[in-house]
Structure 1
Amino acid sequence: MDRVRNVTGKTKRLPRYVREQQMLDAAVQMFARRGYHAASMDEVAELAGVSKPMVYLYLGSKEELFLACIRREAGRLLDAFAGQVNQADAPDQQLWHALRAFFVLVAENRDSWRVLHQQAPAHGEPFAGEVAAMRTAIIAFAADLIDQNIRSRGVSEATEHDVSALAHALVGAGESLADWATEHPDEDPATTARRLMNFAWMGLDNLLHGSIWRP
């Protein structure tokens, strides 16, 4: 099952990394749609097109497989959120690019978001800890953007607690909106990101008075 035919007509074994990614893809889909407890290793193996012993050999127990899924998807999410940001851009542009990349990833990988935000926290440690670490990193990134903007405007009254509280509020709003977006597949990810920019960056008062942030 783990062989493919090359251009010469001979078969060759797929690299281990490629096969592991196929198994993880299948596992993410099964965990997202059936839940951690209901999903079986038989189903993961069948969906990945491999034998169950191969899943155990490559990725270990069901718990280890679930943990590997969480770590991979968390890494992808962090890369999407921070990887597209140019530090030379203005703070609002940095946040815009980060949010747009984040919502594009969620839209294209709804199963991934369900595993990270719905399944993993519901099943305790060590799963919840991996998601918490990812969330802490995203909050730190958001706090840095907010702090940059405060400093650039010469606002001296803002404290470290102000920055931290706003970063937590921003990330919480993004998570809630991602949950909403997964249930609205017709929503364009850039539109979702723009909604949050207007809510968070412009503020409700400006938004209600027609002052709209535009990319």
Structure 2
Amino acid sequence: MTETAEPSTTQAGRGVRLPRTARRAQLLAAAQDVFVANGYHAAAMDEIAERAGVSKPVLYQHFPGKLELYLAVLETHVDELIARVRDALESTTDNKQRVQAAVGVFYDFVDREGQAYRMVFESDLRGEPAVAEAVQRATSDSVDAITDTITADAGLDADRARLLAVGLVGLSQVTARAWLDGERKVSKEEAVALISNLAWKGIGGGFPLQHP
């Protein structure tokens, strides 16, 4: 199915037509910049449209309101974080390496340009049910993926495996943000190694692999 192209409204790109998916990506990128810089409440659709180089009617063709736009940006990053956690767990059958890869996902996420992690971990709109649900999903789906791996490989029941998974995700999130706030005084590679070694000594030492 061929996408309908939309004309560009920027002065430099006047007459250029973008496929709908490309236009949507452009709008999401502009919205992320504004939401991260200003927070949800202070962000204005006028500013987002201007940053994207489109008219407000074009912006509203894609997103009926500011909340829908915010949720679209947020869901994009939540989905990406969860996919990266799952990919990390599937990248190897060595559980020590799995722990390091999973921890590394959270450090990479907070270290990305654009500070998208602030929308996921520090949203100023958590009182909105749809936002709270999306933010919670970033943690709960990551925990679910790790729980499944621990249950299969460590011989623990789901409740105990889930507590360990919550601990690993919480440790990764909190230390990654503390590392970033501390201006990366420790290299990312060393920080990931320190935290994954701490986690592995608890998980690997107390719950050895049951199915080598």
TM-score (norm 1): 0.79
1:173 aligns with 2:171: yes
CA 1:110–1:196 in structure 2 vs 1: closer, same or farther (change >3 Å)?
farther
Aligned position for 1:122: 126
Helix, strand or coil: the match of 1:14?
Answer: strand
Q: Distance in 2 between matches of 1:190 and 1:60?
A: 42
Residue type at the aligned position of 2:188: P
Distance 2:87 2:180 in 1: 22
User: Aligned-pair distance for 1:87?
Assistant: 5.7
Q: How many residues align?
A: 194
Partner of 1:46: 50
Residue pair 1:174, 1:196 contacting (<8 A) in 2 also: yes
Q: Does 1:73 align with 2:77?
A: yes
Q: Does the CA-based 8 Å contact 1:139-1:167 persist in structure 2?
A: yes
Question: Residue 193 of structure 1 corresponds to which residue in structure 2?
Answer: 192
Query: What is the CA distance between 1:17 and its match in structure 2?
Result: 0.9
Give the Cα separation in 2 of the matches to 1:121 and 1:177. Answer: 23
Q: Structure 1 pair 27/185, CA: closer, same or farther in 2 (3 Å)?
A: farther
Matched, 1:28 2:32: yes
State the SS of the aligned residue for 1:33: helix
Q: What SS class does the counterpart of residue 43 from structure 2 fall into?
A: coil
Secondary structure at the counterpart of residue 177 of structure 2 = helix
- Rounded Cα–Cα distance in structure 1 between residues aligned with 2:183 and 2:112: 9
Which residue of structure 1 aligns with residue 59 of structure 2?
A: 55
Paired residue type of 1:135: T
Could you say if the C-alpha distance between residues 163 and 63 of structure 1 is closer, same or farther in structure 2, counting changes exceeding 3 Å? same
Whether 1:89 and 2:88 are equivalent positions in the alignment is no
Classify 1:50/1:12 alpha carbon distance in 2 versus 1 (closer, same or farther; 3 Å): closer
Q: What SS does the aligned partner of 1:134 have? A: helix
Q: Is the 8 A contact 1:107 1:181 kept in 2?
A: no
* Residue segments in structure 1 that go unaligned for 5+ positions in a row: 5-9, 152-157, 207-215
AA at the equivalent of 2:71: L
Deviations 1:97-129 (A, max 9, x none): 233233223211452100011116633311110
Check whether the contact 1:103–1:178 (CA below 8 A) recurs between aligned residues: yes
- 8 Å CA contact retained: 1:28, 1:112: yes
Paired residues of 2:151 and 2:161 also in contact (CA < 8 A): yes
- How far, CA to CA, are the matches of 2:134 and 2:119 in structure 1? 12
Across the aligned residues of Structure 1 and Structure 2, the Cα RMSD in angstroms comes to 2.6
Opposite residue 202 of structure 1, the aligned amino acid is: K
Equivalent pair of 1:33/1:111 in contact (CA under 8 Å): no
Which residue identity does 1:174 align to in structure 2?
S
How high is the sequence identity, in percent, across the aligned residues?
A: 27
**Structure 1 runs, 4 residues or longer, greater than 6 Å off:** none
Q: Match of 2:209?
A: none
Q: Give the 3 Å change call, closer, same or farther, for CA 139–121 of structure 1 in structure 2.
A: farther
Does 2:187 correspond to 1:183? no
* Aligned-partner residue type, residue 107 of structure 1: D
Q: Distance in 1 between matches of 2:168 and 2:54?
A: 42
2:100 counterpart of 1:102 = no
CA deviation after TM superposition for structure 1 residue 159, in Å: 4.0
Q: Distance in 1 between matches of 2:70 and 2:38?
A: 13
